[in-house]
């Protein structure tokens, strides 16, 4: 019986389009369809248990339409002059090897704080790239203390997070249990995945309380530890985004999430099948070409066991899942 199942699935899937063949989210049938029937540019695998869909949806802390409306009022776009020698591929970890944060994958835990993570990760990288040293800005500070940024673990606005960085500053803080910086993340890494090294994830939690007080024994006060941005801005256009990555470092991006994305393992992601689930915020790190397909290199915040060691590639140049629609970033004050 086990030997017949893939053949039967192949027959069904080959005569039915994704629109007519109803596959289960996070199911083996969807993974099989992507890998053996769809002829797409990426490979799927088991990242989550099949019964975890509702919990995973709670990690998607972006309302795209609300963010679009917010950006129309609050986000100013910067004109980026594109160089004639803009490279075809770019990995900032090679250009700025001393900036170890470029290789880091954080974990937002059981909280829809992706909007804060995608923002502070890029801020952290850009401080190092600009010569401000190896600081590690706190996702806890932005998620819990920025009252204008949204709703904490229930979602928020990356543009507001970057404005908060400019206006109020962000303190340092490492990942959970690190004892690093003023305000380390207070929610534990958890096993989002079928096979991981952490405790199982539970349901989404309330937003941790804003304390505005550094950990006991830290050498500075909360106010003394603030790091400020000099500016925040949006970027439009594929070449302009690429140029800003090459010149200044990572940016924050928002994109639509469909069921198939949850099973990403390798290759260049393109929405292939599955229903819309919500939207997510991430950090675009660089870009490149794989088997003739242009891609953005992206850091996720579901720890290093998800996807390709915590990273993924997504098609570049076609606004895949609106990944190029709402890019926000900024420059540090160093």
**Nearest to residue 53, comparing CAs of 261, 254, 196, 199?**
261
The overall longest dimension of the chain from CA atoms, in Å, is: 66
CA-to-CA distance for 63 and 312, rounded, in angstroms?
21
**Nearest to residue 172, comparing CAs of 202, 145, 141, 204?**
141
Determine the pLDDT at residue 48: 87
- Of 280, 303, 321, 331, the catalytic one is 280
Q: What is the tens place of the pLDDT at every residue in 59-99? A: 999 999 999 999 999 999 999 999 999 999 999 999 999 99
∠ CA 39-43-45, nearest 5°, is 135
Instruction: Establish whether 280 is a catalytic residue.
Output: yes
Q: How confident is the model at residue 21 (pLDDT cuts 50, 70, 90)?
A: low
Task: Kindly report the CATH number assigned to the domain that includes residue 148.
Answer: 3.90.70.10
- Of 47, 67, 143, 300, the catalytic one is 300
Work out how many domains the chain is built from and give that number: 1
Question: What value does the mean pLDDT take over residues 148-169?
Answer: 98
**Predicted TM-score (pTM) of this structure:** 0.93
Q: Over 50: is that where the pLDDT of 163 sits?
A: yes
- Of 114, 128, 190, 201, the catalytic one is 114
Instruction: Establish whether 114 is a catalytic residue.
Output: yes
Determine the pLDDT at residue 200: 82
Lowest mean pLDDT among 83-97, 194-208, 251-265, 293-307: 194-208
CA-to-CA distance for 163 and 169, rounded, in angstroms?
9
Residue span of the structural domain in which 138 resides: 4-332
Residue 153 · residue 209 · CB < 8 Å: no
Half-sphere exposure of 289 (CA within 13 A, CB side): 5
What tokens appear for 189 in the block? 């890494």
């Amino acid at each position: 019986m086990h030997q017949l199942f893939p053949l039967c699935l192949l027959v069904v899937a080959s005569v039915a389009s994704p629109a007519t063949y109803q596959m289960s989210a996070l199911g083996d049938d969807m993974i099989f369809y992507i890998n053996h029937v769809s002829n797409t540019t990426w490979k799927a695998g088991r990242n989550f248990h099949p019964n975890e869909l509702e919990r995973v949806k709670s990690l998607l802390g972006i309302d795209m339409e609300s963010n679009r409306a917010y950006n129309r009022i609050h986000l100013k776009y910067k004109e980026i002059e594109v160089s004639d020698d803009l490279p075809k591929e770019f990995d900032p970890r090679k250009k700025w090897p001393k900036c170890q944060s470029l290789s880091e994958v954080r974990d937002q835990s059981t909280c829809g704080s992706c909007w804060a993570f995608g923002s502070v990760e890029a801020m952290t990288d850009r401080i190092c790239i600009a010569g401000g040293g190896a600081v590690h800005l706190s996702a806890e500070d932005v998620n819990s203390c920025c009252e204008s940024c949204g709703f904490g673990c229930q979602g928020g606005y990356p543009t507001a997070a970057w404005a908060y960085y400019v206006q109020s500053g962000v303190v340092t803080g490492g990942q959970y249990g690190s004892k690093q910086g003023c305000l380390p993340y207070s929610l534990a890494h958890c096993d989002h995945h079928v096979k991981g090294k952490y405790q199982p994830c539970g349901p989404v939690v309330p937003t941790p309380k804003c304390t505005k007080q550094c950990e006991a024994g830290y050498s500075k006060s909360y106010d003394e530890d603030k790091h400020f941005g000099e500016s925040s801005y949006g970027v439009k256009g594929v070449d302009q985004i690429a140029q800003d990555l090459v010149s200044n470092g990572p940016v924050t991006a928002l994109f639509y999430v469909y069921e198939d994305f949850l099973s990403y393992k390798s290759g260049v992601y393109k929405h292939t099948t599955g229903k819309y689930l919500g939207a997510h915020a991430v950090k675009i790190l660089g870009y490149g070409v794989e088997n003739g397909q242009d891609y953005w290199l992206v850091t996720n915040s579901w720890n290093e066991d998800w996807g390709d060691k915590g990273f993924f590639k997504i098609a570049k140049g076609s606004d895949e899942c609106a990944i190029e629609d709402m890019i926000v970033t900024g420059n540090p004050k160093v």
